[in-house]
Amino acid sequence: MEHTWSPEQYLRFGEERGRPFADLTARIRAVDPAHVVDLGAGPGTLTALLAARWPEAQVLAVDSSPEMVARAGQVEGITAVRGDLRRWEPSAPVDVLVTNAALQWVPGHLQLLPRLVAMLAPGGWFAMQVPGNFDEPSHAIRRELAARAPYAEHLRGVDHPDAHDAGTYLGALQDLGLEVEAWETTYLHVLTGPDPVFAWVSGTGARPTLQALPETLRPGFERTFRARLRAAYPETEHGVVLPFRRVFAVGRRPC
């Protein structure tokens, strides 16, 4: 089953989700790019930062979710189009190609890198960021519950995000001829509100799982999931701390 995205739910933690995008794109040193593309751009709010930085550029937000593209279409300064990043082709060589928090949704995405890098103009920049937190309780608890009866039979083959370490992207992009830097950062997000880690994961990584469950089973799954997440991420007097490791790589194609 294809899952759907909710721009509103995703944007609830817009501040926290925006931070890695800023850290990623700060390392792109393009001066005057003509064609800028954001692949898996989501609601387009972060893509708009690229348009603000390079006001002369044509800035394109590409996403496969109709809900996200509809939302990005309302953002000034960018053009939003529906497209699958596994197949999408640019109409001209790309000067800056960004893909932030999207490649983890594409199984086998290392195989896509040659095609993405081939889109770059000489001197063009490629910048990617993926989560590196798949062993954290926020994912481990979901996996464990999903493997149990009575849920397992409904959740086989359901989409789930996955990614590699920084060294893997560094090597893969270097082998494609880019000058690359790669790094990782663990953010300590301090979240507030009821069950904030559940709210976070149900906007992203756990979304396909929750949507694939029948109505009769979803409430029970959610109840146990929420309780286990509360135990794993206890409330402090300042809120709930969600450690979130992210992996970054930025490369430049030589002129």
Ligand X SMILES: C[S@@+](CC[C@H](N)C(=O)[O-])C[C@H]1O[C@@H](n2cnc3c(N)ncnc32)[C@H](O)[C@@H]1O
List binders of ligand X among 193-212 (CB under 6 A). 204
Regarding 40 and contact with ligand X (CB under 6 A), the answer is yes
Nearest-CA neighbor of 35 among 97, 116, 83? 97
Regarding 80 and contact with ligand X (CB under 6 A), the answer is no
Size of the site for ligand X (CB under 6 A): 20
List binders of ligand X among 226-245 (CB under 6 A). none
Among 102, 113, 128, 163, indicate the residue that binds ligand X (CB under 6 A): 102
Q: Which residues contact 215 (CB under 8 A, 6 or more apart)?
A: none
Residue 125 pairs with which residues in a beta bridge? 96, 252
- Residue range at the interface with ligand X (CB under 6 A); choices 64-72, 168-176, 210-218, 238-246: 64-72
> What is the spatial distance between Cα 9 and Cα 7, in angstroms, rounded to a whole number?
6
Question: Which residue, 196 or 205, is less far from ligand X as judged by CB?
Answer: 205
- Residue range at the interface with ligand X (CB under 6 A); choices 34-42, 144-152, 232-240, 247-255: 34-42
Burial class (CB in 10 A: 0-12, 13-18, 19+), 230: middle
Q: In 10 A of CB 36, how many CB atoms?
A: 25
> What is the spatial distance between Cα 202 and Cα 191, in angstroms, rounded to a whole number?
14
Regarding 100 and contact with ligand X (CB under 6 A), the answer is yes
Regarding 37 and contact with ligand X (CB under 6 A), the answer is no
Question: Which residue, 78 or 106, is less far from ligand X as judged by CB?
Answer: 106
Q: What are the distances in angstroms from CA 50 to CA 55, 68, 99, 167, 250? A: 8, 17, 12, 26, 15
Which residue type, as a one-letter code, is found at position 244? Answer: F
Regarding 133 and contact with ligand X (CB under 6 A), the answer is no
- Residue range at the interface with ligand X (CB under 6 A); choices 41-49, 51-59, 178-186, 194-202: 41-49
Q: 239: phi > 0 → left, psi -120 to 50 → alpha, else beta; which?
A: left
Question: Which residue, 46 or 75, is less far from ligand X as judged by CB?
Answer: 46
Regarding 84 and contact with ligand X (CB under 6 A), the answer is yes
Regarding 41 and contact with ligand X (CB under 6 A), the answer is yes
Give residues in contact with ligand X (CB under 6 A): 5, 17, 21, 40-42, 46, 63-65, 68, 84-86, 100-102, 105-106, 204
